[in-house]
Amino acid sequence: MTDKQSKGIRMFDPAFDYGQLPSLTGFLFRKASLRTFAIFGDAVGDRAITPLRYSLLEVVGANPGLQQVQLAGILGLSKPAATLAIDFWQTRDCLSRRPDARDRRSRGIYLTEAGQARLDDLRIIIARQDAQLTEMLSEDELALLKSLMQRVIEGPVL
Amino acid sequence: MTDKQSKGIRMFDPAFDYGQLPSLTGFLFRKASLRTFAIFGDAVGDRAITPLRYSLLEVVGANPGLQQVQLAGILGLSKPAATLAIDFWQTRDCLSRRPDARDRRSRGIYLTEAGQARLDDLRIIIARQDAQLTEMLSEDELALLKSLMQRVIEGPVL
DNA sequence: GAAATTTAGTTATCGTCAATAACCATTTAT
DNA sequence: ATAAATGGTTATTGACGATAACTAAATTTC
C-alpha cells in the first residue's frame, strides 16, 4: 500500500472484461464523477467540505440574501437538508442567517467576512484541482468537452 | 406537480447566479452523473436495481467464476459491500455462488439462467436509455465526447 | 376581521447504505 | 506445527437524505 490518499482507485483493470459498461456514456459520467469526488477531498484537505457544501457557499456568495427555500431549490435539496447544510457553515462562522424585514418567517443567508475569505480560498483551490482533473486535454479539447457536457446536462427532462 | 418521475430536476435556474460552478468540469460531471442516475431508475422500472448492481451483473456475465474479492476490487467495493450486492442478486435467483475446488475458502460467482436472461434484458434497456441521455448529440459528437471522457477517466491518479 | 390555509424553517424519526471491526474457515509461510 | 495471511460473513456504527410532525408567521376566504 503505497498510496494513502484517494484510495488509489484504478479505473479499469485490463485483466477483466467490463462488458458493455465502458461503452455507456452514463457509466463514464459516473466514473468521472467518482474521480472528481475523490480528488476533491484530497485537494481541499478537510473531508467535511463536500462538493455540495462548497456549492452552497458558492451560490450564497453569488446571491447574497437568498431564502433557505430558494437555496434548497437551487441545490436540489429538501428543506431539512438545506437547514443542515447552512448549519454546517454557520457553526464555522462562514454563513449568517439574518431576519428578513418583510417576512419574519424567512431568513436571508449571507456570507460572513470569514465566509467570504473561506470562499475565496476554496475557489482557488478548487479551480486548480479542477484544472488538474482535465490536464491531459488541450485547451481546445477541454472547451469542446465542456460544451458537449453542457448540452447533455441541459437536455430534455425526458 | 405534473411530473411524477425523475423529480423533474431543473439543472440550472437562469434566475440565479451559480458563481464559478458551471465552469468547473467536475461540477458538470456530477450533474451529468445525477441525471444519469435519475433516468436510470425510470428506465429500469425497479428502483432496487441501481447502476452499481447492474454493473455487478454485467461484470459477472463477462467474467464468470470470479471470486468475490476480485469483484470487490473491480467494482471498487469493500468486501462486505460485495457480499451484500451478491446477496441481492442471489435472492433474486440471478447469481449463484459455487464452491471453488482449489480453494475451499473462496466461491466462484456465476450467472444463473434466470440471471443471464435478466442481464440480456437489462443490457438492452440500459443501452437504449443511455442513447437517450445523449440524443441531442450527433454521432460524431458523441464519439468525440466518449473519447474525451475516456482520457479524463484514465488520467493519472494524482 | 376571524378562521382556515399556506409557507418558511426546525426538529424528530426513520431507512438506506457503506465502512470498519470482529469473527470463522482455510490456506500459505516460517 | 504454529503463525500469519486470505476469502467470506456478520455485527456494529456513522453519515446522509427523506418524510412527517411541529411552530410561527403570512395569506386567503368568507
Instruction: Tell if the CB–CB gap between B19 and A59 is shorter than 8 Å.
Output: yes
Cα gap B75→A12, rounded to integer Å: 9
Residues of A in contact with B13 (CB under 8 A): 73-74
Cα gap B33→B28, rounded to integer Å: 8
Question: Mean pLDDT across the stretch B113-132?
Answer: 95
Fold of A39-151: Arc Repressor Mutant, subunit A (1.10.10)
Mutation test of the interface with chain B: which of A1, A10, A17, A36, choosing the one with the most B Cβ atoms within 10 A? A36
- What is the three-class DSSP state of B105? coil
Please give the pLDDT value at position B130.
93
Number of neighbouring beta carbons within 10 Å of residue A16? 15
Categorize the per-residue pLDDT at B74 as very low, low, confident or very high, splitting at 50, 70 and 90. very high
Give the residues across from A107 on adjacent strands: A99
Higher pLDDT, A9 or A143: A143
| Dihedrals phi, psi of B110, to nearest 5 degrees | -135, 155
Question: Mean pLDDT across the stretch B131-154?
Answer: 93
Are the C-beta atoms of residues A71 and A77 closer than 8 Å to each other? Answer: yes
CA angle B38, B42, B44 (to 5 degrees): 115
Q: Residue A36: closest CA among chain B residues belongs to which residue?
A: B26
Instruction: Tell if the CB–CB gap between A20 and B123 is shorter than 8 Å.
Output: yes
Is pLDDT of B11 > 70? no
Residue of A2, A49, A33, A157 whose CA lies nearest to B26: A33
Sign of the Cα torsion A134, A147, A23, A158 reads positive
Minimum-distance residue to D27 (CA–C1'):
A103
Categorize the per-residue pLDDT at A45 as very low, low, confident or very high, splitting at 50, 70 and 90. confident
Burial per residue of B117-154, b for 16 or more beta-carbon CB atoms within 10 angstroms, e otherwise: ebbeebbebbeebbeebbeebeeebbebbbebbbebbe
Is pLDDT of A137 > 90? yes
Please give the pLDDT value at position B35.
87
State, as a whole number of angstroms, the distance between the CA of A103 and the C1' of D30: 25
Minimum-distance residue to C12 (CA–C1'):
A80
Higher pLDDT, B139 or A154: B139
Four-way CATH pick for B50-146: 1.10.10.10, 3.40.50.300, 3.40.190.290, 1.10.1060.10: 1.10.10.10
Please give the pLDDT value at position B7.
38
Is pLDDT of B108 > 60? yes
Q: Which pLDDT tens digit goes with each residue over A2-25?
A: 333 333 445 678 889 999 999 999
Is pLDDT of A118 > 80? yes
Number of neighbouring beta carbons within 10 Å of residue A102? 6
- What is the three-class DSSP state of A50? coil
Residue of A40, A74, A76 whose CA lies nearest to B34: A76
Contact map slice: A 108-137 vs B, CB within 8 A? 123, 126-127, 129-130, 132-137
Is pLDDT of B5 > 50? no
User: Which residue blocks in chain A are alpha helix, DSSP H?
Assistant: 25-44, 51-62, 68-75, 79-91, 113-133, 139-153
Of B36, B129, B148, the CB nearest to A145: B148
What residues does each domain of chain A span? 39-151
Please give the pLDDT value at position B57.
95
Are the C-beta atoms of residues A33 and B141 closer than 8 Å to each other? Answer: no
Please give the pLDDT value at position A157.
54
Instruction: Tell if the CB–CB gap between B11 and A153 is shorter than 8 Å.
Output: yes
Q: Which pLDDT tens digit goes with each residue over B22-36?
A: 999 999 999 999 888
Using CA atoms, how far residue B28 sits from A72, A114, A135, B106, in Å, is 19, 28, 16, 41
Residue of B88, B109, B85, B84 whose CA lies nearest to B98: B109
Categorize the per-residue pLDDT at A1 as very low, low, confident or very high, splitting at 50, 70 and 90. very low
Instruction: Tell if the CB–CB gap between A142 and B25 is shorter than 8 Å.
Output: yes
| Cell 458537449, located at residue | A148
Cα gap A6→A132, rounded to integer Å: 14
Please give the pLDDT value at position A42.
86
Instruction: Tell if the CB–CB gap between A11 and B154 is shorter than 8 Å.
Output: yes
Categorize the per-residue pLDDT at B45 as very low, low, confident or very high, splitting at 50, 70 and 90. confident
